[in-house]
Structure 1
Amino acid sequence: MASMIGSSRLAGALALGLVATGALAQGHTLTTDDYARAERFLGPNTAPLVDHAIQRVTWLDDGHFWYVDHDAKGDHYRVMDAATGKATDAFDQPRLAAALGKALAKPIKSDKLGIREYVVAADGRLDVQLDGKHYLCDLKPAQGECVAKKTGKEPGVLSPDKKSEAFIRDWNLWLRDVATGKETQLTTDGVENFGYATDNAGWKHTDNAILVWSPDSKQIATFQQDERKTGDMYLLKTQVGHSELLHWKGPLAGDKNVTMIERVVIDVPSKKVVRLKMAPDQHRSTLCDDVSCGPEGGWDDVKWADDGKTLAFVSTSRYHKDEWFRIADPKTGAVRTVFEEHVPTYYESGNGQVNWFYLPASHEAVWFSERNNWGNLYLYDLQTGKLKHAITTGEGNVTEVLKVDPKTRTVWFRGVGRTPGVNPYYQQFFKVSLDGGKPVLLTPEAANHEITLSPDGHAFVDTYSTPTTPPVTLLRDSADGHTLVSVAKADVSRLRAAGWVPPTPITVKARDGKTDLYGMLFKPTNFDPHKKYPVVDYIYPGPQTGSVRGRNFLPSRGDNQSLAELGFIVVAIDGMGTPWRSKAFHDAWYGNMGDNTLPDQVAAIKELGKRYAWIDTHRVGIWGHSGGGNATADAMFRYPDFFKVGWSESGNHDNRNYEDDWAEKYQGPLVTHKDGTTNYDDQANENHAANLKGKLMLVHGTIDDNVPPSNTLLVADALIKANKDFDLLLIPNVHHGYGVEKGTYAMRRRWDYFVTHLAGDTPPKEFKFTMPKD
């Protein structure tokens, strides 16, 4: 630091000379050991040091669930009897490892099987999923035996009776008999770009079939997706010889023609296709920017009656301002609109799950709405279309409804901000009557609760934690939340012995000086309060999520702690415009996406600088990926005197060059004014590039089919035209995520960039990461 140099004149000269680069030189040379210490705080190194932290549980039936209990000796697959609380081995792991190893022709470690899913097949064999494939394993013989499960080349959607699976081939829907492999074509008129059950949202396109089976496995609700007028997207792979052209359909914001769907119901036995009697619908959902929101696929906004005689669904308008709750007759195709909701900005049906439910037996529907500025549940009469009453009221949000029991008229849901004094991001679990009344809190601990209900809803597994306290897993009663048995309590002794320290939760004020914002602060483990540390702001602006990466316990949050180890204070702050709070909070910069929470980031870092003498607000860097890459470049252009160094990865820098649904949901319709300008001009980073003063690295994968690389090249072109110095890293043949090898390369370059240009230090030459060995 300049203050350490004897001559004040020399110090001043150095300071002035380095302002342009955004760093006040400290002149330290970091060693390979320094980087190796930072590497030890990455997730692959820290996660194995946490013992008895239950990541997920899977119910096998109403009374049994399985989970993986990890400790220093490895992974232990366990099954718990919910009635007795007794846990036993799920299977003979060494025997299964040997059998799988023989089937895969490679060694499989019994203490690290890597199995994420398994079920017990009808014949008693284990149906194990490993490396994306299914194996049927018989462990009764002394040696055990596993055989690859016969499946078609196309991924299928299994019927409720598990006898059939539906899949796409040549734009049509087919049926495969699970037992025999026999295939039957269900539709015949599907053609290219007008196919059945097509999974293409522009930013995502797979071979999965999007459909919903009726409970009796005799009908399929799906759609014929019309992309014939949708615009084309192209990318080229890098290779020797003639180029390989990648092509897909991708609608963009403002396009006259976007992807539409025509809803159909297929009667499986007769192969009859009934087209619902309504105009083509938008390719939209009430929750996300695709018709299929969950990681398991499926069609979220479609629900069958138990008897299969009616089908409920919700149609969403192009700009997410209107929702229509509809009921269809699958035999005739008749459709009735029961009720609708209009919002001035955008409608969402919750966080993480679509929160409307169809209750045909009582002619009712549970509906989610933020009409009172908070996410609450409402009960509608399906015969009249009228609101009967609010199920939940007041402040705080219902985030996920996990079960509705029409017989007991009970709703179980996760929610935030509903318990005074508890962090407003901590999810707790409640039950409430469909007839209203005060919700009953089932998980009183002031922590974030992950809930897995038993199929019959009588019990639930609750894993609760905070960012600083490791998880506790309990089996609880759904009636009142009392603990039935303790499943596991995490132990972080080995993690702490390795030098780990928890992040520091922070609360700061937003741009208005009144609203509380919540975030995380990461300090080096060798923190010296007498030093001045440069700041790196990790940002993801939303609006669909934030920067903090959840409120559960995590031994690593990306590379935040690793970067801090190199001599930085790293912060992550959820600014206004991100979810989980009030509707007004989430709407803070609707229609003004150039905001990117940046006024809050600046205000928060300045406040932290006043609060802590060891924070140097004259040396502030920023980085992010995707939306965070957009926000990073935006920060460097709009606040060029505050942010000195930026690392922008795969940014959607101009949302006119990104898929239509996401951009139009949060920015609104593209409007061209009489003078040729548009309401999208200000959000486009290339229009502000001439303001750059500091050091900026732009990074993008060359075959990114989520955020096309043209987004970054638009910014690069504008910087060139403005005669600005900048850095550019194009990573060949990677998509939106960079993969392990090239992702670690990008991370190493990112560390080097901040060490060099923000801290003024010298990184080790071409540090090579060493991933943990299996």
Structure 2
Amino acid sequence: MKNNLPIAFLLIFLSCNFYAQNKEIVPYKPSKSEILERYRQASKLDEAVKNKVFKTRVNAHWQKDGNTFWYCNILKDSVREYILADASKGVKSKLFEELKLKKALSEITGKTLPQKSLVIDSLNYDAKANSIALKYDKSYFEVSLSDYSIKKITALAKDLKKYSGFNNQWARWESFRTDTISPNKKWLAFIKDNNVFVKPVSGGEAVQFTKDGTKEKPYGSLAWSPDSKYIVGYHITPIVDLPVHYVLTSVANTTRGQLRSNPYKQPGDPFTTYEMFLFHVENQKVSKVNTPVIDFFDAPELHWRNGDAGYFTYEKVDRGHQRFRIFEVNTQTAETRSIVDEKAKTFIYESRLFTHYLKKSNEVVMTSEKDGWRHLYLVDGLNGKENQITKGEWVVRSVDSIDENKREIWFSASGMNAGEDPYYIHNYRISFDGKKLIGLTQAKGNHNVAFSPNKQYYLDSYSEPNIPTIIELHRTLDGKKIMDIEKSDASDYLATGMSLPEPFHAKGRDGITDIWGIICRPANFDPNKKYPVIESIYAGPQDSFVPKNFMDRYTTEMQSLAQLGFIVVQIDGMGTANRSKAFHDVCWKNLKDAGFEDRILWIKALAKKYQYVDDSRVGLYGTSAGGQNALGGLLFHPEFYKAGVAACGCHDNRVDKQWWNEQWMGYPVDKHYEEQSNVTNASKLSGDLLLIVGEADENVPPESTYRVADALIKSGKTFEFLPVPGMGHSDGGPYGRLKKRDFFVKHLLGVDPPDRNSNELNQ
């Protein structure tokens, strides 16, 4: 008998373990009273978590010495503390003694200051004089910090020093005038009766350069060469965009609806065209430049060759976004040649196309995705020779600054750090030849860098969705950390019971690529019950959208919605930006795809990892392009998505704005536009749908949603429809968000939402 005891205990252990692993997890289906209580608790929690996280950012006020800055922390109960940091010494301290400053202010104003923390409207600090000048209670004062002597002043001094700053992009399209004075101030070029004239500024008769300009086809958009010898202008065929209309139904002080109209270019609509001409001032010669007509976007910015005004370059993006060129024009011959000629089988993302012209060296720094990733290139503007500056399976996100003298580029990128979310942004410096790459942000996380005006120091703020923000001061020369500045305090927030979002990744449709997202759970949820899933969706190809920062404002609604008894998620599927070109190309002429295959696999992987995730009850909601996606999920993947809320969706890409839709759906407007339209496919609806639209939407015409409603009605489909009087492009505002919550409670939890007409929540 003794010998059998170990075996018996082993059998008991194995049977218990088997039971634990195979215990049935029941779907979460609350009673009406329970859901009412959830609404009440969710409302209380929404209020309880406000202003519960501190020290999330530092707004540094750098001083003239270039080494010191001050900032203000707002703490619990609105208590403020003013901090002085000395970068050269690596120390920080209180900017002033608050009790002594209060006493000084009280004496000079003759007023008793309140006991609460001192709130200063604006403040200047003078490190050299060890004094502060401040505005308090509509008056201005100067205070010596050595003895807190105080005097009244008339105003705060303005800092007139202009800092170069770090620019993210340079414009490519000019705003030209119809009259302009030459750089040498001797000539005035102007348009009169639709034609080009030039006359001496000192007086004299004007010379008419053109005679064929008409009202229907005028000349215009004039620009001088730096040596004042040439004028570049255009023979223009103007196009007036047709209007879209909407009616305001509830305007005060009238019993009539008010018609509103605004010009709106839709896919396929024509553009104003520009034929480029050269006007030679000395011999009054007119030359038509041998270059294609500019029939997409406006007249381009001109870049004149340094040291030789006989040449200039300009950029041209072909309609359809599949070709980008930099042309060089010879002003003597009016002939052109291509310095850059880039073509793509899918699309060139024009809005992210960065170019910067180096004036001293006649070179161009530009971005390209020609090797499959967005990288920096250096192009010789004289011979077109091209050298790649950055390389690798990672993405240049932005260019902060270019130092032509040191031949260095300061930029941000994502995906370079192994074992980290590939969307996390880090900052770098690199030389023009692709060498001397220096990482300025080493710690894991999503980084935001703010440089001092003299660029000798920078504040590095970094965090993750579930890890509080850390703010450090670094030296720019080598990236060395000087000192810790602040760390976010979320203890009061977590004390409410609210959980933080959890990052999660799973393989996409190719079985190789990681798809990233976040999940939000209800506070104090029961892991022995299965909760429905709601996806907050926005699959617009112009960016990636899953929050990467701690306490990102975009997670607020997700976390609030989760409190009603849902697992709320957000995912970046294929077809969105900031990964490889191939990842992004999925969207090409294919907005219907919306990364759904990746999203569905991600949610299924989540349900496999966490048994409390119920992937048999999945809903989704979105606004604008997200509204298009939310309805698209129901139409094209009804086997997975059961309920959706679509707000102000661009449901038919032929109805929405030209610039956004042609970038992804291409030009000309072909059959694929119709085939992928939610309007065309409305008869496929099998799930539960709530449509929301603001009647005053000037972004996506309201008829986009109304056309879907019309198609659903004609197909005999059942759906809910919420038009919001007077509202523009939005998710429906507070009332729309309330209706969205009620909709998911009813259709995913199977419980009637609160009857607000009977004030049920307050009973």
TM-score, length-normalised on structure 2? 0.73
Query: Counterpart of 1:604?
Result: 602
Amino acid at match of 1:453: F
Pairing 1:345-360 to 2, within 5 Å after superposition? 345-348=346-349, 355-360=354-359
Cα-Cα RMSD: 4.9
Structure 1 CA distance, aligned partners of 2:643 and 2:425? 35
Pairing 1:142-541 to 2, within 5 Å after superposition? 228-238=239-249, 239=251, 240-255=254-269, 257-258=270-271, 281=294, 284=297, 314-325=315-326, 338-348=339-349, 355-387=354-386, 389-437=387-435, 439-541=437-539
CA distance 1:89–1:364, change in 2 (3 Å)? same
CA distance 1:144–1:188, change in 2 (3 Å)? farther
1:49 aligns with 2:47: no
Structure 2 CA distance, aligned partners of 1:60 and 1:318? 48
CA distance 1:383–1:521, change in 2 (3 Å)? same
CA deviation after TM superposition for structure 1 residue 502, in Å: 1.1
Structure 2 CA distance, aligned partners of 1:516 and 1:618? 23
CA deviation after TM superposition for structure 1 residue 485, in Å: 2.9
Q: Is the 8 A contact 1:398 1:413 kept in 2?
A: yes
CA distance 1:369–1:260, change in 2 (3 Å)? same
Query: Counterpart of 1:71?
Result: 75
Q: Is the 8 A contact 1:575 1:600 kept in 2?
A: yes
Q: Deviations over 1:676-732 (max 9, x none)?
A: xx1211220011111112210000111111011111111101100000010110111
Helix, strand or coil: the match of 1:620? strand
Amino acid at match of 2:716: N
CA deviation after TM superposition for structure 1 residue 243, in Å: 3.7
Amino acid at match of 1:622: L
CA deviation after TM superposition for structure 1 residue 453, in Å: 2.3
Structure 2 CA distance, aligned partners of 1:112 and 1:33? 39
Query: Counterpart of 2:18?
Result: none
Helix, strand or coil: the match of 2:383? coil
Query: RCO (CA 8 Å, sep 6+): is it higher in 1 or 2?
Result: 1
Amino acid at match of 2:492: R
Helix, strand or coil: the match of 1:662? helix
Structure 2 CA distance, aligned partners of 1:324 and 1:578? 25
Query: Counterpart of 2:695?
Result: 702
Amino acid at match of 2:366: W
CA deviation after TM superposition for structure 1 residue 278, in Å: 7.0
Structure 2 CA distance, aligned partners of 1:421 and 1:755? 38
Query: Counterpart of 1:202?
Result: none
> Of the two, which has the highest radius of gyration?
2
Helix, strand or coil: the match of 1:480? coil
Structure 2 CA distance, aligned partners of 1:521 and 1:55? 28
CA deviation after TM superposition for structure 1 residue 56, in Å: 5.2
Amino acid at match of 1:759: L
Q: Give the one of 728, 746, 751 matched to 1:756.
A: 746
Structure 2 CA distance, aligned partners of 1:330 and 1:570? 61
5+ residue gaps, structure 1: 1-14, 16-22, 99-106, 129-134, 150-157, 162-170, 176-184, 192-209, 216-220, 266-274, 286-290, 292-298, 673-677, 770-774
Helix, strand or coil: the match of 1:49? coil
1:717 aligns with 2:729: no
1:29 aligns with 2:33: yes
Q: Deviations over 1:183-239 (max 9, x none)?
A: xx9988899xxxxxxxxxxxxxxxxxx999x99xxxxx9999986332222222222
CA distance 1:74–1:764, change in 2 (3 Å)? farther
CA distance 1:643–1:470, change in 2 (3 Å)? same
CA distance 1:555–1:232, change in 2 (3 Å)? closer
CA deviation after TM superposition for structure 1 residue 432, in Å: 1.3
CA distance 1:160–1:53, change in 2 (3 Å)? closer
Structure 1 CA distance, aligned partners of 2:405 and 2:443? 29
- The worse-fitting range, judged by mean Cα deviation, of 499-508 and 48-57 is 48-57
- The worse-fitting range, judged by mean Cα deviation, of 478-487 and 452-461 is 452-461
Q: Deviations over 1:370-391 (max 9, x none)?
A: 111111111111111221x211
CA deviation after TM superposition for structure 1 residue 33, in Å: 5.2
CA deviation after TM superposition for structure 1 residue 748, in Å: 1.1
Query: Counterpart of 1:766?
Result: 756
Structure 2 CA distance, aligned partners of 1:397 and 1:410? 18
Q: Deviations over 1:625-684 (max 9, x none)?
A: 111110011111112232111111110000100111111111111344xxxxx1211220
- The worse-fitting range, judged by mean Cα deviation, of 491-500 and 658-667 is 491-500
1:728 aligns with 2:721: yes
Amino acid at match of 2:673: Y
Q: Deviations over 1:717-762 (max 9, x none)?
A: 1100000010110111111136xxx611111111111111111123
5+ residue gaps, structure 2: 1-25, 106-113, 143-149, 166-175, 181-187, 195-220, 227-231, 279-287
Structure 2 CA distance, aligned partners of 1:750 and 1:347? 37
1:587 aligns with 2:588: no
CA deviation after TM superposition for structure 1 residue 34, in Å: 2.7
CA distance 1:87–1:765, change in 2 (3 Å)? farther
Q: Is the 8 A contact 2:619 2:641 kept in 1?
A: yes
Structure 1 CA distance, aligned partners of 2:445 and 2:707? 44
Q: Is the 8 A contact 1:376 1:391 kept in 2?
A: yes
Q: Give the one of 566, 569, 577 matched to 1:568.
A: 566
CA distance 1:264–1:360, change in 2 (3 Å)? farther
Structure 2 CA distance, aligned partners of 1:615 and 1:392? 42
CA deviation after TM superposition for structure 1 residue 545, in Å: 2.3
Query: Counterpart of 2:215?
Result: none
Helix, strand or coil: the match of 2:619? strand
1:745 aligns with 2:745: no
CA distance 1:410–1:686, change in 2 (3 Å)? same
Q: Is the 8 A contact 1:402 1:453 kept in 2?
A: no
Q: Deviations over 1:141-170 (max 9, x none)?
A: 9777789x9xxxxxxxx9999xxxxxxxxx
- The worse-fitting range, judged by mean Cα deviation, of 610-619 and 45-54 is 45-54
Amino acid at match of 1:373: G
Amino acid at match of 2:271: V
Amino acid at match of 1:578: T
Helix, strand or coil: the match of 2:603? helix
Structure 2 CA distance, aligned partners of 1:305 and 1:49? 56
Structure 1 CA distance, aligned partners of 2:43 and 2:305? 52
Amino acid at match of 2:347: Y
Q: Is the 8 A contact 2:470 2:486 kept in 1?
A: yes
Helix, strand or coil: the match of 2:574? coil
CA deviation after TM superposition for structure 1 residue 421, in Å: 1.8
Amino acid at match of 1:247: S
CA deviation after TM superposition for structure 1 residue 400, in Å: 1.1
Amino acid at match of 2:610: Y
Structure 1 CA distance, aligned partners of 2:233 and 2:490? 47
Structure 2 CA distance, aligned partners of 1:461 and 1:262? 48
Helix, strand or coil: the match of 1:475? strand
CA deviation after TM superposition for structure 1 residue 53, in Å: 1.1
CA distance 1:75–1:615, change in 2 (3 Å)? same
Query: Counterpart of 1:690?
Result: 683
Structure 2 CA distance, aligned partners of 1:25 and 1:611? 21
TM-score, length-normalised on structure 1? 0.72
Q: Give the one of 655, 665, 672 matched to 1:679.
A: 672
Structure 1 CA distance, aligned partners of 2:553 and 2:45? 8
Structure 2 CA distance, aligned partners of 1:543 and 1:125? 49
CA distance 1:705–1:753, change in 2 (3 Å)? same
Q: Is the 8 A contact 2:120 2:134 kept in 1?
A: no
